[in-house]
C-alpha cells in the first residue's frame, strides 16, 4: 500500500541551496525511495518569479515521488500542514555588518515563520535550521514558537560532520562510506571542534580507530581541524559563492537519519538542545553526537567521550554564543522584540 505524502517546507527555495535541495527531496534522497512528498517552497516577493521557475523545473523533471508543489511568498500558505520544515532562508551577513545586526534582521524573518509553523504546521513537525548563524536562528525560532517541542527544533552541523568524514577518507584513501563516528562539537562556525577520537574505518580486518590508521597526531590535531573549520570560507574563495550542493546533501542526511534512524553502531552530529550532557549548559542549541530511532534523536553518552578543549586552552563548550531558549531577550538586541 502506497504511503501518504509527507509535506516538506523549504524556505529560501529560490536560492542556491534551495535550488540544489528541492530535487533531492523530490527524488527521495531525504525521506526514502518509497516516500511520496509534496513540496512547499517559500521565498520573498522579489524572488517570486524565480521561485515559479523552480516550480516549473520540478514539474518538468517528472519526479515519480513528487505529488504536488506549493510555491508561494505567503508564509501561512507555505507552513500549512507541513511535516518537515527546512529553514534555508535568512538574512546573510554582509561586509561591515556586526553579528548583532544580522541577528536583528533574522529575528524579524524567523518571528513570522515561527508563528506560522506553530499555528499551521502538522503536529510533531520536525524543523531543521540551515540559515546562518544556524544555532542562534534555531533558538530565535523556538522563542517565537513556544509550543513546538524543543526536541523538534534542530540546526545543521551535518555539513561539518560530512566534511570531516571527507577529509579522513581522502587522507587514508578509503571510501567515505567506510568512515564513521566523527563528532562535531559546538557551533556551526569556525569555533566548532571536529573530533576523531571515536571515529573508525572499516577495513578488511575489522573496524580500526582513525587515530591508529592516520598515525599522525600533528595532522589530526592541526591541519585536519582547521581545514574542517574553514572549509566554508575556502569554498567561497574558490567558487565565489557559499556551499550549496554539499549543504543541500547534508540537510537531506540530517532529516533522513532523524526520520528513518541511524545505522546500528553509528552516530552523527546534529545541533540539538543541550540537556547538560558533557558540561554544555542546558538550553543551548549545540552540536552533539547523536543516534536516532523512531523519529527521535538521543545524545550519545559514550564512555570516555568528552567535549575537547580547543586551541589556546579554551573549552570548545564555551565558544557557543550565550543564547538559550529561556533567556534570548537578554542576549539579542532589544529592538528585535519591539
In the annotated binding site, the residues are 12-18, 43, 93, 99, 106, 130-132, 163
DSSP annotation string for 194-216: EE-TT-EEEETTEEEEHHHHH--
**Phi, psi for residue 4 in degrees, rounded to 5:** -70, 140
User: Taking a C-beta distance cutoff of 8 angstroms, is the pair 318, 203 a contact?
Assistant: no
40, 120, 161, 188: the catalytic one is: 188
**Alpha helices by DSSP H, the chain:** 16-27, 48-61, 75-79, 99-120, 134-143, 158-172, 210-214, 217-221, 223-229, 231-239, 245-260, 328-331
Cα separation of 19 and 24, whole Å?
9
Cα separation of 286 and 133, whole Å?
12
Q: The C-alpha cell of 152 is what? A: 523538534
**Through-space distance between the first and last CA atoms of the chain, rounded to whole angstroms:** 51
Cα separation of 185 and 305, whole Å?
11
188: annotated active-site residue: yes
Cα separation of 322 and 267, whole Å?
26
Cα separation of 292 and 267, whole Å?
8
- C-alpha angle 43/140/294, rounded to 5°? 85
Q: Which residues are annotated as a binding site for substrate?
A: 93, 99, 132, 163
How far does Cα 145 stand from its chain's mean position? Answer: 19
Q: The C-alpha cell of 148 is what? A: 513546538
Active site residues: 188
Amino acid at each position: 500500500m502506497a504511503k501518504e505524502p509527507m509535506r516538506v517546507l523549504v524556505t529560501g527555495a529560490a536560492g542556491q541551496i534551495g535550488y540544489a535541495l528541492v530535487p533531492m527531496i523530490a527524488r527521495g534522497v531525504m525521506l526514502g525511495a518509497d516516500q511520496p512528498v509534496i513540496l512547499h517552497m517559500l521565498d520573498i516577493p522579489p524572488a517570486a518569479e524565480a521561485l515559479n521557475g523552480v516550480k516549473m523545473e520540478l514539474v518538468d523533471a517528472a519526479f515519480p515521488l513528487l505529488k504536488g508543489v506549493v510555491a508561494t511568498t505567503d508564509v501561512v500558505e507555505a507552513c500549512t500542514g507541513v511535516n518537515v520544515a527546512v529553514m534555508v532562508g535568512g538574512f546573510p551577513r554582509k561586509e561591515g555588518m556586526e553579528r548583532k545586526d544580522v541577528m536583528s534582521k533574522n529575528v524579524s524573518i524567523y518571528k513570522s515563520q515561527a508563528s506560522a509553523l506553530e499555528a499551521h504546521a502538522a503536529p510533531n513537525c520536525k524543523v531543521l535550521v540551515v540559515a546562518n548563524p544556524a544555532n542562534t536562528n534555531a533558538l530565535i525560532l523556538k522563542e517565537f514558537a513556544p509550543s513546538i517541542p524543543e526536541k523538534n527544533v534542530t540546526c545543521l552541523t551535518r555539513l561539518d560532520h560530512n566534511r570531516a568524514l571527507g577529509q579522513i577518507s581522502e587522507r587514508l584513501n578509503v571510501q567515505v562510506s567506510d568512515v564513521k563516528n566523527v563528532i562535531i562539537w559546538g557551533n556551526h562556525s569556525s569555533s566548532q571542534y571536529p573530533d576523531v577520537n571515536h571515529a573508525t574505518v572499516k577495513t578488511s580486518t575489522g573496524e580500526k580507530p582513525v587515530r591508529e590508521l592516520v598515525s599522525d597526531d600533528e595532522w589530526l590535531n592541526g591541519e585536519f581541524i582547521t581545514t574542517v573549520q574553514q572549509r566554508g570560507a575556502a569554498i567561497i574563495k574558490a567558487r565565489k559563492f557559499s556551499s550549496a550542493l554539499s549543504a543541500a546533501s547534508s540537510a537531506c542526511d540530517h532529516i533522513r537519519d532523524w526520520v528513518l534512524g541511524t545505522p546500528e553502531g553509528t552516530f552523527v552530529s546534529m545541533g540539538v538542545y543541550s540537556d547538560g550532557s558533557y558540561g554544555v549548559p542546558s538550553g543551548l542549541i549545540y552540536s552533539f553526537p547523536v543516534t536516532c530511532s523512531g523519529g527521535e534523536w538521543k545524545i550519545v553518552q559514550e564512555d570516555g567521550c568528552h567535549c575537547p578543549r580547543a586551541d589556546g586552552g579554551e573549552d570548545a563548550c564555551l565558544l557557543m554564543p550565550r543564547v538559550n531558549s529561556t533567556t534570548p531577550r537578554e542576549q539579542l538586541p532589544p529592538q528585535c522584540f519591539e
